Amino acid sequence: MFENLNQNVALKVDDLVILNKELVEDYIAKNKELFEEITFTDHLNYHMKYGYNKNHNPVKIAFLDNEIQRIIIKTKNFSQKRVRIDLMYDGSAYHGFQIQANGKTIQGELSKLISEVNNKEILVQGASRTDALVHAKMQVIHFDDESNLSKEEWLRFLNNRLPKDIFITNIELMHPLFHSRYDVYEKEYVYKIKLGDYDPFLLNYAWNIEYLDFVRLNDQIKKIIGTHDFTSFAKGIKGDNVRTIYKSGYKLDDDILEIHITGNGFLRYMVRLIIAHAINYATKKIDIDILEILNEKSRRHTKNLAPAEGLYLNKIIY
Protein backbone atom coordinates (compact mmCIF):
# COMPACT_ATOMS: atom_id res chain seq x y z
CA MET A 1 0.00 0.00 0.00
CA PHE A 2 3.02 2.30 0.25
CA GLU A 3 3.46 2.66 -3.51
CA ASN A 4 1.11 5.65 -3.63
CA LEU A 5 3.15 8.23 -1.70
CA ASN A 6 2.59 11.95 -2.04
CA GLN A 7 5.64 13.85 -3.32
CA ASN A 8 5.79 15.73 0.00
CA VAL A 9 5.11 12.73 2.22
CA ALA A 10 6.40 12.83 5.80
CA LEU A 11 7.38 9.81 7.89
CA LYS A 12 7.81 9.80 11.65
CA VAL A 13 9.10 6.75 13.51
CA ASP A 14 9.38 7.56 17.21
CA ASP A 15 11.59 10.69 17.23
CA LEU A 16 12.95 10.19 13.70
CA VAL A 17 11.37 12.45 11.06
CA ILE A 18 11.97 11.93 7.32
CA LEU A 19 10.73 14.30 4.62
CA ASN A 20 10.79 13.80 0.84
CA LYS A 21 9.30 10.89 -1.11
CA GLU A 22 12.60 9.33 -2.19
CA LEU A 23 14.02 9.31 1.35
CA VAL A 24 10.80 7.83 2.73
CA GLU A 25 10.79 5.11 0.06
CA ASP A 26 14.41 4.29 0.93
CA TYR A 27 13.59 4.02 4.66
CA ILE A 28 10.60 1.73 3.95
CA ALA A 29 12.77 -0.53 1.78
CA LYS A 30 15.41 -0.84 4.52
CA ASN A 31 12.95 -1.33 7.39
CA LYS A 32 10.31 -3.58 5.84
CA GLU A 33 9.29 -5.20 9.13
CA LEU A 34 7.75 -1.92 10.30
CA PHE A 35 5.50 -1.68 7.25
CA GLU A 36 4.41 -5.29 6.78
CA GLU A 37 1.14 -6.97 7.75
CA ILE A 38 -0.61 -3.83 8.95
CA THR A 39 -4.07 -4.56 10.34
CA PHE A 40 -6.38 -1.56 10.49
CA THR A 41 -8.81 -0.97 13.34
CA ASP A 42 -12.45 0.10 13.17
CA HIS A 43 -11.48 3.70 13.96
CA LEU A 44 -11.43 4.80 10.33
CA ASN A 45 -12.30 8.28 9.17
CA TYR A 46 -12.38 10.37 6.00
CA HIS A 47 -8.64 10.83 5.59
CA MET A 48 -6.94 8.72 8.26
CA LYS A 49 -6.32 5.04 8.92
CA TYR A 50 -5.20 3.61 12.26
CA GLY A 51 -3.71 0.17 12.74
CA TYR A 52 -0.90 -2.07 14.00
CA ASN A 53 2.00 -3.69 12.17
CA LYS A 54 3.12 -7.30 12.67
CA ASN A 55 5.17 -6.22 15.72
CA HIS A 56 1.99 -4.69 17.20
CA ASN A 57 3.44 -1.19 16.87
CA PRO A 58 0.69 1.43 16.37
CA VAL A 59 0.56 2.93 12.87
CA LYS A 60 -1.31 5.99 11.57
CA ILE A 61 -1.56 6.87 7.89
CA ALA A 62 -2.98 10.17 6.60
CA PHE A 63 -4.18 10.62 3.03
CA LEU A 64 -4.45 13.60 0.70
CA ASP A 65 -6.33 13.09 -2.58
CA ASN A 66 -5.86 9.30 -2.29
CA GLU A 67 -2.10 9.64 -1.82
CA ILE A 68 -0.30 8.94 1.45
CA GLN A 69 0.64 12.27 3.00
CA ARG A 70 1.88 11.25 6.45
CA ILE A 71 2.97 8.02 8.17
CA ILE A 72 3.47 7.78 11.93
CA ILE A 73 4.77 4.68 13.73
CA LYS A 74 5.54 4.27 17.41
CA THR A 75 7.79 1.40 18.49
CA LYS A 76 8.09 2.48 22.13
CA ASN A 77 6.53 4.73 24.78
CA PHE A 78 3.05 4.71 23.27
CA SER A 79 -0.18 4.97 25.21
CA GLN A 80 -1.99 1.82 26.24
CA LYS A 81 -5.24 3.70 26.87
CA ARG A 82 -5.95 6.83 24.87
CA VAL A 83 -9.33 8.33 25.75
CA ARG A 84 -11.48 10.58 23.54
CA ILE A 85 -14.06 12.82 25.21
CA ASP A 86 -16.81 14.70 23.38
CA LEU A 87 -18.25 17.64 25.30
CA MET A 88 -20.28 20.83 25.06
CA TYR A 89 -19.99 24.01 27.07
CA ASP A 90 -21.31 27.48 27.69
CA GLY A 91 -18.21 29.66 27.37
CA SER A 92 -19.64 32.70 29.15
CA ALA A 93 -17.66 32.21 32.37
CA TYR A 94 -14.39 31.10 30.78
CA HIS A 95 -11.24 32.72 29.43
CA GLY A 96 -11.33 30.37 26.46
CA PHE A 97 -10.42 26.71 26.04
CA GLN A 98 -6.63 26.91 26.43
CA ILE A 99 -5.21 26.85 29.94
CA GLN A 100 -3.89 30.17 31.27
CA ALA A 101 -1.94 31.30 34.32
CA ASN A 102 -4.82 33.55 35.37
CA GLY A 103 -8.43 32.81 34.60
CA LYS A 104 -10.72 29.78 34.45
CA THR A 105 -10.53 27.75 31.21
CA ILE A 106 -12.18 24.62 29.79
CA GLN A 107 -8.85 22.83 29.39
CA GLY A 108 -7.93 23.74 32.94
CA GLU A 109 -11.16 22.39 34.47
CA LEU A 110 -10.87 19.09 32.60
CA SER A 111 -7.14 18.65 33.22
CA LYS A 112 -7.57 19.26 36.95
CA LEU A 113 -10.06 16.43 37.42
CA ILE A 114 -8.31 13.98 35.08
CA SER A 115 -4.99 14.66 36.83
CA GLU A 116 -6.67 14.03 40.20
CA VAL A 117 -7.79 10.55 39.15
CA ASN A 118 -4.44 9.64 37.56
CA ASN A 119 -2.45 11.04 40.49
CA LYS A 120 -0.16 12.87 38.04
CA GLU A 121 -0.33 16.06 36.01
CA ILE A 122 -2.16 15.56 32.71
CA LEU A 123 -2.91 18.32 30.20
CA VAL A 124 -5.76 17.30 27.92
CA GLN A 125 -5.50 18.17 24.21
CA GLY A 126 -8.42 19.73 22.35
CA ALA A 127 -9.63 19.84 18.77
CA SER A 128 -10.07 23.62 18.80
CA ARG A 129 -8.79 26.39 21.07
CA THR A 130 -11.95 28.46 21.36
CA ASP A 131 -11.54 32.06 22.55
CA ALA A 132 -12.89 33.63 25.72
CA LEU A 133 -16.71 33.70 25.83
CA VAL A 134 -17.04 31.38 22.78
CA HIS A 135 -19.34 28.37 23.19
CA ALA A 136 -19.14 24.79 21.94
CA LYS A 137 -21.97 22.49 20.91
CA MET A 138 -19.24 19.93 20.20
CA GLN A 139 -15.63 19.95 21.35
CA VAL A 140 -13.31 16.91 21.36
CA ILE A 141 -10.38 16.26 23.67
CA HIS A 142 -8.05 13.34 24.27
CA PHE A 143 -5.67 12.20 27.00
CA ASP A 144 -3.64 9.14 27.97
CA ASP A 145 -5.24 7.41 30.93
CA GLU A 146 -3.35 5.36 33.52
CA SER A 147 -6.33 4.82 35.80
CA ASN A 148 -8.57 1.77 36.07
CA LEU A 149 -11.75 3.71 35.32
CA SER A 150 -13.94 2.45 32.50
CA LYS A 151 -15.36 4.91 30.00
CA GLU A 152 -18.73 4.67 31.79
CA GLU A 153 -17.11 5.48 35.12
CA TRP A 154 -15.24 8.43 33.56
CA LEU A 155 -18.52 9.75 32.16
CA ARG A 156 -20.25 9.63 35.55
CA PHE A 157 -17.28 11.06 37.43
CA LEU A 158 -16.70 14.02 35.12
CA ASN A 159 -20.35 15.00 34.80
CA ASN A 160 -20.72 14.86 38.59
CA ARG A 161 -17.61 16.95 39.29
CA LEU A 162 -17.37 19.42 36.40
CA PRO A 163 -19.08 22.83 36.59
CA LYS A 164 -22.65 22.64 35.28
CA ASP A 165 -21.80 24.75 32.22
CA ILE A 166 -19.59 21.90 30.91
CA PHE A 167 -21.21 18.59 29.94
CA ILE A 168 -19.62 15.38 28.65
CA THR A 169 -21.70 13.76 25.90
CA ASN A 170 -19.56 10.75 24.92
CA ILE A 171 -16.36 8.91 25.85
CA GLU A 172 -14.49 6.40 23.67
CA LEU A 173 -11.26 4.43 23.91
CA MET A 174 -9.15 5.22 20.86
CA HIS A 175 -6.12 4.04 18.92
CA PRO A 176 -2.85 5.14 20.65
CA LEU A 177 -2.04 7.59 17.82
CA PHE A 178 -5.43 9.30 17.61
CA HIS A 179 -5.05 13.06 18.06
CA SER A 180 -8.09 15.25 18.69
CA ARG A 181 -6.56 18.28 16.93
CA TYR A 182 -4.28 16.96 14.19
CA ASP A 183 -6.66 14.27 12.92
CA VAL A 184 -9.63 16.59 12.28
CA TYR A 185 -11.11 16.36 8.79
CA GLU A 186 -13.46 19.31 9.07
CA LYS A 187 -14.94 21.72 11.62
CA GLU A 188 -18.16 23.68 11.55
CA TYR A 189 -18.64 27.00 13.31
CA VAL A 190 -22.02 28.70 13.75
CA TYR A 191 -22.46 32.39 14.43
CA LYS A 192 -25.79 33.51 15.92
CA ILE A 193 -27.35 36.93 15.34
CA LYS A 194 -30.49 38.25 17.00
CA LEU A 195 -32.39 40.44 14.52
CA GLY A 196 -34.65 43.31 15.48
CA ASP A 197 -35.34 44.38 19.05
CA TYR A 198 -32.68 43.86 21.68
CA ASP A 199 -33.13 40.82 23.94
CA PRO A 200 -31.12 40.97 27.21
CA PHE A 201 -31.52 37.20 27.69
CA LEU A 202 -29.42 36.63 24.55
CA LEU A 203 -26.68 39.04 25.61
CA ASN A 204 -24.16 36.21 26.10
CA TYR A 205 -25.35 34.06 23.20
CA ALA A 206 -25.91 36.22 20.09
CA TRP A 207 -25.00 39.52 18.42
CA ASN A 208 -27.93 41.91 18.20
CA ILE A 209 -28.34 43.54 14.75
CA GLU A 210 -31.49 45.52 13.96
CA TYR A 211 -31.54 45.00 10.18
CA LEU A 212 -29.43 43.65 7.35
CA ASP A 213 -29.66 42.95 3.62
CA PHE A 214 -29.77 39.16 3.13
CA VAL A 215 -28.78 39.35 -0.54
CA ARG A 216 -25.61 41.24 0.35
CA LEU A 217 -24.91 38.88 3.27
CA ASN A 218 -25.29 35.77 1.14
CA ASP A 219 -23.08 37.24 -1.60
CA GLN A 220 -20.16 37.68 0.80
CA ILE A 221 -20.35 34.44 2.77
CA LYS A 222 -20.68 32.32 -0.39
CA LYS A 223 -17.53 33.83 -1.89
CA ILE A 224 -15.29 32.35 0.82
CA ILE A 225 -16.11 28.79 -0.32
CA GLY A 226 -13.00 27.18 -1.78
CA THR A 227 -9.29 27.38 -0.98
CA HIS A 228 -7.94 30.83 -0.12
CA ASP A 229 -5.11 32.55 1.69
CA PHE A 230 -6.91 33.99 4.75
CA THR A 231 -4.11 36.32 5.90
CA SER A 232 -6.60 39.21 5.77
CA PHE A 233 -8.82 37.36 8.25
CA ALA A 234 -6.33 36.17 10.86
CA LYS A 235 -4.54 37.61 13.86
CA GLY A 236 -0.82 37.22 14.43
CA ILE A 237 -0.37 34.31 12.03
CA LYS A 238 2.74 33.95 9.94
CA GLY A 239 3.38 31.08 7.56
CA ASP A 240 0.72 28.93 5.93
CA ASN A 241 -2.56 30.85 6.07
CA VAL A 242 -4.24 28.82 3.31
CA ARG A 243 -7.45 27.11 4.38
CA THR A 244 -10.31 25.43 2.51
CA ILE A 245 -13.94 26.33 3.21
CA TYR A 246 -16.29 23.52 2.18
CA LYS A 247 -19.62 25.14 2.98
CA SER A 248 -20.85 28.59 3.97
CA GLY A 249 -24.43 29.79 4.27
CA TYR A 250 -27.13 30.95 6.61
CA LYS A 251 -30.37 29.78 8.23
CA LEU A 252 -33.13 32.04 9.51
CA ASP A 253 -35.50 30.92 12.26
CA ASP A 254 -37.89 33.73 13.19
CA ASP A 255 -35.55 36.49 14.44
CA ILE A 256 -32.46 34.28 14.95
CA LEU A 257 -29.99 34.23 12.07
CA GLU A 258 -27.36 31.47 12.04
CA ILE A 259 -24.33 31.70 9.76
CA HIS A 260 -22.70 28.29 9.24
CA ILE A 261 -19.09 27.96 8.03
CA THR A 262 -17.43 24.57 7.52
CA GLY A 263 -13.76 24.12 6.64
CA ASN A 264 -10.65 22.01 7.07
CA GLY A 265 -9.26 24.42 9.65
CA PHE A 266 -9.49 27.98 10.92
CA LEU A 267 -6.93 30.63 11.87
CA ARG A 268 -7.16 32.65 15.07
CA TYR A 269 -10.13 35.05 14.94
CA MET A 270 -10.80 33.99 11.33
CA VAL A 271 -14.52 33.30 11.72
CA ARG A 272 -15.20 36.42 13.81
CA LEU A 273 -13.35 38.63 11.31
CA ILE A 274 -15.28 37.12 8.40
CA ILE A 275 -18.59 37.61 10.23
CA ALA A 276 -17.74 41.22 11.12
CA HIS A 277 -16.99 41.99 7.47
CA ALA A 278 -20.11 40.19 6.19
CA ILE A 279 -22.38 42.05 8.64
CA ASN A 280 -20.79 45.42 7.88
CA TYR A 281 -21.32 44.72 4.17
CA ALA A 282 -24.89 43.48 4.73
CA THR A 283 -25.77 46.59 6.77
CA LYS A 284 -24.24 48.77 4.02
CA LYS A 285 -21.56 50.25 6.25
CA ILE A 286 -18.91 49.21 3.72
CA ASP A 287 -18.87 48.31 0.02
CA ILE A 288 -15.50 46.58 -0.44
CA ASP A 289 -15.93 42.99 -1.63
CA ILE A 290 -14.58 40.10 0.43
CA LEU A 291 -12.59 38.71 -2.52
CA GLU A 292 -10.79 42.02 -2.86
CA ILE A 293 -9.90 41.88 0.83
CA LEU A 294 -8.67 38.29 0.52
CA ASN A 295 -6.44 39.24 -2.42
CA GLU A 296 -4.90 42.12 -0.46
CA LYS A 297 -3.53 39.73 2.20
CA SER A 298 -3.58 42.47 4.82
CA ARG A 299 -5.68 43.53 7.81
CA ARG A 300 -6.24 47.03 6.42
CA HIS A 301 -9.99 46.43 5.99
CA THR A 302 -10.55 43.84 8.75
CA LYS A 303 -9.90 45.60 12.03
CA ASN A 304 -13.25 44.76 13.67
CA LEU A 305 -14.15 41.48 15.36
CA ALA A 306 -17.67 40.15 15.71
CA PRO A 307 -18.49 39.67 19.43
CA ALA A 308 -17.24 36.38 20.82
CA GLU A 309 -20.56 35.60 22.51
CA GLY A 310 -22.29 34.78 19.21
CA LEU A 311 -19.76 32.14 18.11
CA TYR A 312 -20.25 28.38 18.57
CA LEU A 313 -17.95 25.50 17.70
CA ASN A 314 -20.74 23.35 16.32
CA LYS A 315 -19.37 20.14 14.83
CA ILE A 316 -16.09 18.24 14.41
CA ILE A 317 -15.67 15.42 11.88
CA TYR A 318 -12.77 12.96 11.77
Active site positions, annotated: 131
> What's the angle, vertex CA 32, arms to CA 30 and CA 33, rounded to 5?
130
Q: What are phi and psi of 41, to 5 degrees?
A: -85, 180
The answer for residues whose C-beta is within 8 angstroms of residue 74's C-beta and 6 or more apart is 13, 14, 57, 58, 176, 177
Residue 172: beta bridge partners? 84
Sequence-separated contacts (24+) of 117-125 with Cβ below 8 Å: 117/147, 117/149, 117/157, 118/145, 118/146, 118/147, 120/146, 123/99, 124/85, 125/179, 125/180, 125/181
DSSP letters for 98-119:
S--SSS--HHHHHHHHHHHHHT
**Cβ(145)–Cβ(83) under 8 Å?**
yes
